[in-house]
Structure 1
């Protein structure tokens, strides 16, 4: 009898185990990857591209974040941007990662030396200008002709790959609006005999950085292996910039405590994005919007001002992860409060922002019915059905 029980127990586990083994799996994709042939670098380069949520629902252009060292930094940048944008701390953005070719990462480094003449990157590098040209002449035109990308660009580089970031900051400052430098060096000297700290300050003093933002971060544990002047450079650069009392140039020069060389990337990217998109500016008052006498007008005025400040069309989020601070959240509140006239006006504005959103057209159709605008309701319903069929 005992043997029979063991037999049936074994059969049960074999059957259930087999059914588990047959569960289908699929790939989880967070972006696109492609190769472009670079005449500037004389090689093929791999690009990773992440488009923002609801990209197909809108028709407007998005800011772009260019990420060097993409094989290491692309995924984490994509996650940080996703969370920050969902919570209205920054606009949803296109992310473009440039993957390093094998053995080519150090090509991007600046030729820098310490005060005693010892080369920092072991004599490698010196091609930062070529990589800026590659971005400007080949990557930007490709991205901007194939995706709805605007001219508000941010660049992220780390350790050797901060070379093109500084190269652009010094010599072509309007190429990017945001400059994020991770695991940086400030006390090393470039070929012109000036330290990186001195060149950053001179570039800011040139007056060519109006509207720009700069983040420079270093891990505290790196300073254990650096001469004292490296830590001092972070203090003196901050002091010099503070004295300038700059109104139209945002910066954050910092040492991140208890972080190591590459481990500081997560905090550094976050702080860099906060420098470009400060929380005091990106404090979106959605409670004020929904309680306003005219919610649509109040929201539009706020985003028009934000767009003017950043010189591109900033639009509110259509929806977000368990969050009411967006168009869908406000429309739900207006409906629950039976403010149907305001709801219609608000949803009419919403479909202007997201004309390809089936969800918003469906809600607008229902809102029209609430105020007995049945012809308009029918048109919105037809648009809703068309968008569903298109998908």
Structure 2
């Protein structure tokens, strides 16, 4: 199992290499010293000049950067999450001072307070100014640094939108004050916590206690995920936690899957075209991204509308498809199907015929459109 995990991390590292890697020495006024940053830009960052990208901030980047960057590159390649800018802070031996806290109130103190301000007041503004960023930022930390990222939840508003806590070594009292603080956070927060059955005993117990407190919270703005990986150690849980966290945080971003089609589209009481528009409105609201509706999602919602006889949704989806993909057969096919089901065969025939010179999509071929038009002509004698 260890060999498989090592190989997996290596593969992810090689995937990350396909993105653009930048090393930077950042001179910090707050820290009074320079810090080395490792930044991965998305594959097509330079060519997509109008596109903006969420940020993933990685503490302990000396060993966490590659698995995080590799997973981000892999998931975004398959559209399971948006392409993102990964910013790693190289810490090495400074991680303990960076994450230091006061022994009375257990909040960042001395170098820890400086590091806290470095990230919030220098690093994130620098990344926003230098690159095209969306207003969605995730932080990733492991043990000491996982504890540290939680302090940003006590800011109003919190600095980060997502928190990936891998076996956090929590400061005293955080496990009690954090569940009290979260219901007062007004902005949308994604929070992921992971441990393993072979994790360091004290850390696993603390994670389980925190999970007990967090899973019962009632808040419309707090989305919580927890994993306790069977057989995972303090270090191997990282390779399992990172992809799980990204998959869960960006669940709404993914293309409509077979499961979503079966369990949601075929059962929802919401009109299917409204469900489609709401999905992309949610993506815009959560992640600051105004993405065009995917062809996959047009096909899924169009087929569901056909099967459920939601004719108004079928028409709306067809009109949306014609606007977003005017050179494809998508709009012609679903609008033709709308006219067929609405008892207007002549309009259906003409709509199918008018797609003869357009780009084919998935199962919707020009031959299929012409076959449907010919069948209507034969059936009705046009």
How far off its partner does 1:64 sit?
0.5
Inter-CA distance 253–28: structure 2 relative to 1 (3 Å threshold): closer
- Cross-structure match for 1:355: none
- Cross-structure match for 1:154: 138
CA contact (8 A) 1:131 1:164 kept: no
- Runs of 4+ in structure 1 deviating by more than 6 angstroms, as ranges, are 297-300, 341-344
- Please list, as runs of the form range in 1=range in 2, the aligned pairs for 1:309-388 lying within 5 A after superposition: 309-310=285-286, 312-315=288-291, 325=296, 345-347=323-325, 370=357
**1:42 and 2:43 equivalent?**
no
Secondary structure in structure 2 of the residue aligned to 1:254: strand
Higher relative contact order (CA 8 A, sep 6+): 1
How far off its partner does 1:271 sit?
2.4
1:106-125 CA-to-partner distances (Å, cap 9, x unmatched) read 11224488xxx9xx9xxx98
Inter-CA distance 326–47: structure 2 relative to 1 (3 Å threshold): farther
Residues in 2 aligned to 1:59 and 1:369: alpha-carbon distance in whole angstroms = 32
**1:176 and 2:160 equivalent?**
yes
Q: 1:242 aligns with which of 203, 210, 215?
A: 215
- Cross-structure match for 2:42: 52
- Cross-structure match for 1:94: 85
**1:77 and 2:72 equivalent?**
no
Q: 1:201 aligns with which of 170, 173, 179?
A: 179
Secondary structure in structure 2 of the residue aligned to 1:244: coil
Q: 1:262 aligns with which of 231, 235, 242?
A: 235
Inter-CA distance 157–238: structure 2 relative to 1 (3 Å threshold): closer
CA contact (8 A) 2:194 2:207 kept: no
Q: 2:256 aligns with which of 282, 285, 308?
A: 285
CA contact (8 A) 1:68 1:161 kept: yes
Residues in 1 aligned to 2:52 and 2:143: alpha-carbon distance in whole angstroms = 31
Residues in 2 aligned to 1:161 and 1:127: alpha-carbon distance in whole angstroms = 14
CA contact (8 A) 1:250 1:275 kept: no
CA contact (8 A) 2:164 2:193 kept: yes
- Please list, as runs of the form range in 1=range in 2, the aligned pairs for 1:90-239 lying within 5 A after superposition: 90-100=81-91, 102-111=92-101, 127-186=111-170, 188-189=171-172, 195-205=173-183, 207-224=184-201, 226=202, 231-239=204-212
CA contact (8 A) 1:109 1:161 kept: yes
Inter-CA distance 307–349: structure 2 relative to 1 (3 Å threshold): farther
Residues in 2 aligned to 1:160 and 1:125: alpha-carbon distance in whole angstroms = 14
- Cross-structure match for 2:56: 65
Inter-CA distance 265–202: structure 2 relative to 1 (3 Å threshold): same
CA contact (8 A) 2:52 2:134 kept: yes
Alignment RMSD: 4.0
* Matched residue count: 286
Inter-CA distance 182–110: structure 2 relative to 1 (3 Å threshold): farther
Residues in 1 aligned to 2:186 and 2:357: alpha-carbon distance in whole angstroms = 52
CA contact (8 A) 2:145 2:168 kept: no
Residues in 2 aligned to 1:261 and 1:267: alpha-carbon distance in whole angstroms = 11
1:41-69 CA-to-partner distances (Å, cap 9, x unmatched) read 11111111111233222503111101111
1:6-61 CA-to-partner distances (Å, cap 9, x unmatched) read xxxxxxxxxxxxxxxxxxxxx97741111111111111111111112332225031
Residues in 1 aligned to 2:234 and 2:77: alpha-carbon distance in whole angstroms = 29
Uncovered stretches (5+) of structure 1, i.e. residues with no partner: 1-26, 190-194, 289-296, 319-323, 328-340, 351-367, 372-391
Residues in 1 aligned to 2:181 and 2:174: alpha-carbon distance in whole angstroms = 10
**Larger C-alpha radius of gyration, 1 or 2?**
1
TM-score, scaled relative to structure 1: 0.61
How far off its partner does 1:263 sit?
2.0
TM-score, scaled relative to structure 2: 0.63
Inter-CA distance 317–77: structure 2 relative to 1 (3 Å threshold): farther
